[in-house]
Amino acid sequence: MQIPKQAVLLRIFIGEDDKYQGRPLYETIVLQARELHLAGATVLRGMWGFHGAQKPHGDKLFQLSRQVPVTTIIVDPPDRIARSFDIVDELTGDHGLVTSEMVPALILVDGDLRFGGTDLADYRY
């Protein structure tokens, strides 16, 4: 396995109840990332949040529908992330906030194997 010299972190912030063509939007994003052969995708469920003028929302004891925020995270080389932008734009056309940033350090540990390093994070200011 080879760790790229540069990587981009892509984050997609949406609501758990957001849909795309009847399917949960977060699920569609992960399936599309897999079809693009991206390194992987993880969806994290938030407890509480807000966006825009909406009131803060999240898990409550008594509620009829789930209104929690979810974030999909993908890390891959810049060229591979760039290939996903058109699809992400389409999927988040009605819902979402999308951010990307360079990753200054990337380490992957798999059992006894260790790839990457923190040398990218060694900035000289």
Task: Point out the least confidently predicted range of 7-21, 74-88, 102-116.
Answer: 102-116
Residue where the block lists tokens 């798999």:
110
In this prediction, residue 47 carries a pLDDT of: 85
Query: What tokens appear for 94 in the block?
Result: 């009605």
**Per-residue pLDDT at 36 exceeds 80:** yes
- Selected residue with higher pLDDT from 53 and 88: 88
Task: Point out the least confidently predicted range of 20-29, 55-64, 74-83.
Answer: 55-64
pTM: 0.82
**Per-residue pLDDT at 124 exceeds 70:** no
8-120: CATH, from 3.40.50.720, 3.40.50.300, 3.30.70.1520, 3.30.70.120: 3.30.70.120
**Per-residue pLDDT at 101 exceeds 90:** yes
Domain assignments of the chain as residue spans, ordered by start: 8-120
Closest listed residue to residue 40, CA positions, set 86, 18, 7, 15: 7
Query: Over the stretch 37-78, which tens digit does the pLDDT of each residue have?
Result: 998 899 999 888 876 777 787 776 666 666 788 999 999 989
Q: At what angle do helices 78-91 and 25-35 cross, to 10 degrees?
A: 140
Q: How far are the Cα atoms of 41, 55, 66, 94, 117 from residue 45, in angstroms, in the given order?
A: 13, 18, 11, 20, 28
SS3 59: coil
In this prediction, residue 64 carries a pLDDT of: 61
Provide the percentage of residues in the chain whose pLDDT is more than 90.
48
